[in-house]
Amino acid sequence: MVSTLTELTRIPAVAPENGGDGETQKAEKLMETLGKIGFDKTERFDADDSRVSSGKRPNLLAYLNGESDGNRLWIVTHLDVVPAGETSAWTKTAPFKPFVTGNLVIGRGCEDNGQSLVASIFAAAALHNLGVKPKHTLALAFVADEEQGSVFGIQHLLGKELFRKEDLVIVPDGGNAAGSFIEVSEKSLLWLRIRTFGKQTHASLPGKGLNAHRIGMQAAVELDKRLHERFGDRDEFFDVPESTFEPTKKDANVEAINIVPGEDSLYFDCRVLPKYDIEEVIAEIKHVLTDIEAKTDATIKLEFIQKQQAPKTLDGDAEVVTLLKQALKRARGFDASVGGIGGGSCAAYFRKAGIPAALWSTVDEVAHQPNEYCKIENMVADAKTFSLLATI
């Protein structure tokens, strides 16, 4: 399992939005691994994407036949990873040169989502090697584009009508360090780009221009304050229990220090509690930006990178949740709890399509951080849980 994880982590499956070339090389390496396991069938459903060199965003499926094919057990993981981020903060190893030390595998994507991807494969391998036929057909999906909205990944697959309403879906892309938390609800997701337009000039003569960078910073500060005030309620069902509105990425503007920029761009990542209509949030954002335009004479354009209203919360007594609780009780000896998270996983797309999906895994939640790691014991424990779940 460690060898497989390190081999896959060496391949930077980064989306083109973040300067990467997609998941094709990683998918090809994964296909080699799947061919050694003994799956009854594998399939590939590529989505066209001219932005990557292969022209394709790969989605792989692998099946281990069960006693019944009526309601298959799906385990859905993703191939893509986020960029390294600030590489100087990686003190243990280079992001895509995985390093094994003690109980840890360190590298970008080791936890998100390599740990669960490998655990699902070896759960199937264990059943095959032991000659144990799963109760339900075990179907593994390895999808593209999860980190940037899933258009070329799970949304592409859902359009192929591969999934049934009666299927059981596990998305192991979040959880807690004990493995005792099952996610059944997600927040609404809103990613924004805010572009400010002023007038470029020499920095020693600011009166002859209009500083788009300053106006962008004003917009960020005002939005940060206003959104937290307007949509500030708490719901302890969720971890984190309130809506979050984070200014994150910023595009480069001018190349020289002594130039006042005439154009600037910044981004917000908003995760909104389901009690709020996302259109109300957008209306408040537009109101703030319109007010700043009037005060500064700048032009501000609002663009939506992602916009998704939270789907209906999954019933805590749904079959997939009940079976997962049973597997965790038998495999790990504890009673799992249910709750909500910040949102953005493949599970939300299944729920929106009316297919019950539970999100669960055992993770330290170091995704997207420097020195991201996978605990080997977590990967093994989750593989055991997956294999047991398939036999209940």
pLDDT at position 209, please?
A: 98
Distance separating alpha carbons of residues 266 and 251, to the nearest angstrom: 6
pLDDT category of residue 218 using cuts at 50, 70 and 90: very high
Whole-number pLDDT of residue 271: 97
> What percent of the chain clears pLDDT 90, i.e. is strictly above it?
97
User: Same structural domain for residues 196 and 257?
Assistant: yes
Q: Residue 387 belongs to what H/E stretch?
A: helix 376-389
The 10s digit of each residue's pLDDT in 311-335 is 999 999 999 999 999 999 999 999 9
Task: Tell me what the mean pLDDT of segment 302-306 comes to.
Answer: 96
State mean pLDDT over 224-232. 98
126 lies in the same domain as 6? yes
Final residue belonging to a domain, choices 263, 293, 308: 308
**Residues 377 and 284 occupy one common structural domain:** no
pLDDT-derived band at 138, boundaries 50, 70, 90? very high
H or E element at residue 259: strand 259-260
Give how far the C-alpha of residue 21 lies from the chain's centroid of Cα atoms, to the nearest Å: 18
> How confident is the model over 2-18, as pLDDT tens digits?
999 999 999 999 999 99
Band (pLDDT 50/70/90 cuts) for residue 70 is confident
Q: pLDDT grade, residue 353 (50/70/90)?
A: very high
Total of domains in the chain? 2
Give pTM, 2 decimals. 0.89
Verify that 133 and 106 share a domain, yes or no: yes
Q: Which range of residues forms the domain containing residue 248?
A: 190-308
Q: Give the mean pLDDT of 96-109.
A: 97
Residue at a domain's end among 267, 291, 308: 308
Is 146 an active-site residue?
Answer: yes
Strand partners, 143: 78
- Helices 115-130 and 376-389 cross at an angle (nearest 10°) of 50
Say if CB 212 and CB 197 are below 8 A apart. Answer: yes
In this prediction, what percent of the chain has a pLDDT beyond 70? 100
Q: Identify whether residues 134 and 22 lie together within a single domain.
A: yes
Confidence of residue 343 (pLDDT cuts 50, 70, 90): confident
Domain boundary among 308, 330, 349: 308
Band (pLDDT 50/70/90 cuts) for residue 69 is confident
Co-location of 132 and 194 in the same domain: no
Clarify whether 147 is annotated catalytic: no
* 174 and 197 fall within a common domain: no
Burial class (CB in 10 A: 0-12, 13-18, 19+), 341: buried
Same domain, 104 and 153: yes
Q: Is the pLDDT of residue 266 over 80?
A: yes
Query: What CATH code is carried by the domain that includes residue 369?
Result: 3.40.630.10
Q: Are residues 106 and 32 in the same domain?
A: yes
Domain co-membership, 259 together with 350:
no
Q: Which pLDDT band holds residue 274 (cuts at 50, 70, 90)?
A: very high
Residue 279 clears pLDDT 90, i.e. is over it: yes
Name 171's bridge partners. 359
Choosing from 80, 112, 167, 382, the catalytic residue is 80
pLDDT (0 to 100) of residue 68: 86
Distance CA 194, CA 290 (A): 12
Q: Choose the catalytic residue: 23, 145, 146, 186.
A: 146
> Looking at the structure, do residues 76 and 207 belong to the same domain, yes or no?
no
Mean pLDDT of the chain: 96
pLDDT band of 368, cuts 50, 70, 90: very high
Do 229 and 170 lie in a common domain? no
CATH code at position 236? 3.30.70.360
